[in-house]
Amino acid sequence: MNLENLSENRCFGGWHKQYQHHSGVLNCAMRFAIFLPPQVASGQQVPVLYWLSGLTCTDENFMQKAGAQRIAAELGVAIVAPDTSPRGEDIANDEAYDLGQGAGFYVNATQAPWNSHYRMYDYIVDELPALIETHFPVNQQRAIAGHSMGGHGAMMIALRNPERYRSMSAFSPICNPINCPWGEKAFTAYLGDNRDTWAPYDTTVLLPNAQQPVVGLVDQGEADSFLATELNTDVLEGVVAQTGYPLEVRRQAGYDHSYYFIASFIEDHLRFHAQHLAA
């Protein structure tokens, strides 16, 4: 699989690089960013954290705003940030920000016209890691994290693939997408009207049936404007309390949905992942 290097920047002794490649799964060109910590310069293979971003974001938002590279360089962890959806003139889209390009929701679409390209679940779980592990000095110790729509994606993917990830974490995740406006709109479009097909993409449905736990951390700002209508954090907290699943949910007073929130606690998340990646 050919990679086109779009940019590279020296960063905390390592490198931030941006690439484009053709995705056979998504049937289009895709872009991702990768931070390689300084440890790779000595030939060391390092573990990798996959970061899934939220609605409207690209591969650039987290890498430019979260301030994660300094700690990742210290810990010797690579970070991979894919785009949030297929993109292009011939790719199905919608005028609204919460459907179509920039809003892939990390599902495999089954409904036309979305099913021609929108298979972000397969891209994140299989195609992208295979590409990363072929072309970069990373090992197979993986963690996954994300924000908002990406927080939904990270937890859902980890719960469905516990053998692939040592740990998972999320900021402000859409915890119960089958019961919120964002999720209902996207799942109806991508998956159809049969709500039974939605359940495999909902963290609060998957978690009680998990056979192999993936240790997790969630931070939720209490000043988040989407908390009451879209995120359903209380539903997740209830399921965790009921099942005893090893997922810590922290409420952070005064914090909102922004990257200021992510930047404030990303060090905690990176150190959390590094601990389990090294185990």
Residue 224 a catalytic site member: yes
The alpha carbon of 42 is separated from its chain's Cα centroid by a whole number of angstroms, namely: 29
Q: Which of 59, 83, 202, 224 is catalytic?
A: 224
- The sheet with strand 3-11 has its strands ordered as 3-11, 14-23, 28-36, 78-82, 46-52, 138-147, 167-171, 215-221, 247-252
Q: For the chain, how long is the longest CA-to-CA vector?
A: 53
152 counts as catalytic? no
Catalytic residue of the set 23, 53, 85, 148: 148
**CA angle centred on 156, ends 33 and 279, rounded to 5°:** 70
Catalytic residue among 257, 269, 273, 276: 257
In angstroms, the first-to-last Cα distance of the chain is: 32
For this structure, is 169 an active site residue?
no
Place of tokens 């996954």: 144
As annotated, the active-site residues are 148, 224, 257
